[in-house]
Amino acid sequence: MQDLTTQGLNSTDLTNLTGGSDLNLGIDTGLIGTVMTVVTVISVVLTLVIIVYMVLNIARRWKSEKAIVEMAKDIRDIKTLLEKQVVEKTPSEPEPPVVPPVESVEPAEQPSGQAAA
């Protein structure tokens, strides 16, 4: 291959051939690097916050489901205990009354001066 300068082309000719753009848009490349760094750091921080929130949410949900299962077991145990108590309290003969029967009291004799109505 021959060098471009030997063919009579120099950098200004190449610039004219490519449309005359020199790609200098007036943007500081150091500023782009700073902005990209800040955006990257903010994205990483937000991603970590979302991940921590998700982990805490999963742990909370797991604890609540575990508590529900434990309550269901407790309710089942209480139910079996109550059923056993009901079976034990149903005797074949009725229990005697708790309060003793009241003896009949005969009316007291009225004083001799008054007549019964």
**11-41 pLDDT tens trace:** 676 666 666 555 556 667 778 888 999 999 9
Query: Is pTM, for the whole model, over 0.85?
Result: no
Classify the C-alpha dihedral 76-77-78-83 as positive or negative: positive
**82-114 pLDDT tens trace:** 988 877 766 566 666 677 667 776 766 666 655
Q: How far apart are CA 111 and CA 116, in angstroms?
A: 10
